[in-house]
Amino acid sequence: MAETPLMLSVGLVEKDTNGDALWVWCYPTVTTEFRELLLRKCCLSDENDVLHTFVFGQFKRTWYYITTTQVQDPTTLSKVTHFSVVLTAKDFNPEKYASFGRVLCRIYMKYGSPAKMMEGYISVLTNGICQSEENGSFLMKDYDARKAYLAGSIKDVVNQFGMETIILYTALLLKRRIVVYHPRIEALQEFTRTLPTLAWHRQDWSILHPYVHLNQNELEALKTCAGYIAGFTDLKVTDRLDIYDVFVNLVESEIVVAPHAQESMTMGKLHKDIGQFIVQSASDPEKPDGQVIKDISQKTKEILANLASLAPDEEGKPKITLEILKERHFPPAIETFLYHVAAAEQMLQI
């Protein structure tokens, strides 16, 4: 039985010699709402002339990957200065779609016809391979999802934030809303995609929204998600306390917990111990990133196992109540933390 295809569509945006960016072609189709979003994400519609060769993000559970290139002379595309190939898919795998996007860009540059791109797209959709002598070949099976999860560097994150990494760890464990600011989209994407590794036991990258505009449609969609990591290039997002519990300013290397989230994010001795453990693991030059992620994950599993042992279950799911936690006379910060972890892990009985 063939696998369900993960790719959903391929589209094309062109910037002409008048400086207008237009959505010119798509196969099979995308909604009008999604098309407007993709035009906004694609750097061709920007006033500033910064060329982002590759951006990726997510909107309403669909991933988009945009590869942009400048038209090199001589070419069949005489009235076009730049174009973007837009792929949408169900899976998170930037490297895979960046690679395929580059192949499609070369095909379009050569033939100037979307029909040739569509051939390449359908070939990958049906056979998982797109082969062409001069435009490079692409093999779907070369790109493992797990590799995409491990592509960022958790050591870089810990080196930048030190003990404050525990705030990010706690926020992820409790499924809080994290907003990250940096004016450069590439820096945002690299940093945000690494954060879900702090909650490796979930291996859930659906919480990642690396490139969000302060646009009502996008913010409404974001608000429907329980916990997330959202990246913004606009510093005005600082004022939007309605969309974050934790704010990360990557430029200033500072992390701020929003006033409304401070109670559930109160740090105690346990947090300090975990924080020191994370910093120690990440600062070991012998340890690769993958091992640091394993160490942190092991620590998380210990916390969850200890929590589960407080309320042995009948049918395979521990049931924690506030009473059970109170009976143990934990310090207040730890009791609060364990209560919220139990809620995030669906161990809580109300």
Question: Out of 93-102, 243-252, 314-323, which region has the weakest mean confidence (pLDDT)?
Answer: 314-323
Tokens of residue 100, six digits: 């395929």
- Angle between helix 332-344 and helix 289-309 axes, rounded to 10 deg: 100
Question: Over 80: is that where the pLDDT of 121 sits?
Answer: yes
Q: Using one digit for the tens of pLDDT, what is the confidence trace for 227-242?
A: 999 999 999 999 999 9
Helix (H, G, I), strand (E, B) or coil at 328: coil
SS3 letters across 135-149: CCCEEHHHCCHHHHH
Report the pLDDT averaged over residues 28-36. 95
Alpha carbon distance 65, 87 (integer Å): 5
Alpha carbon distance 129, 141 (integer Å): 8
Q: Using one digit for the tens of pLDDT, what is the confidence trace for 275-297?
A: 999 999 999 999 999 999 999 99
Report the pLDDT averaged over residues 36-55. 87
Identity of the residue numbered 205: W
Alpha carbon distance 194, 8 (integer Å): 25
Instruction: Please give the model's pTM, rounded to 2 decimal places.
Output: 0.95
Alpha carbon distance 270, 262 (integer Å): 17
Bridge partners of 170, per DSSP, are none
Torsion on CA atoms 257, 261, 262, 264, rounded to nearest 10: -130
Burial environment of residue 309 by CB neighbours within 10 A (0 to 12, 13 to 18, 19 or more): exposed
Alpha carbon distance 19, 31 (integer Å): 25
Report the pLDDT averaged over residues 85-94. 97
List, in order of start, the domains of the chain with CATH numbers.
7-147 (3.30.450), 149-261 (3.40.50.11500), 284-344 (no CATH)
Residue pair 202/297 in contact (Cβ under 8 Å)? The answer is: no
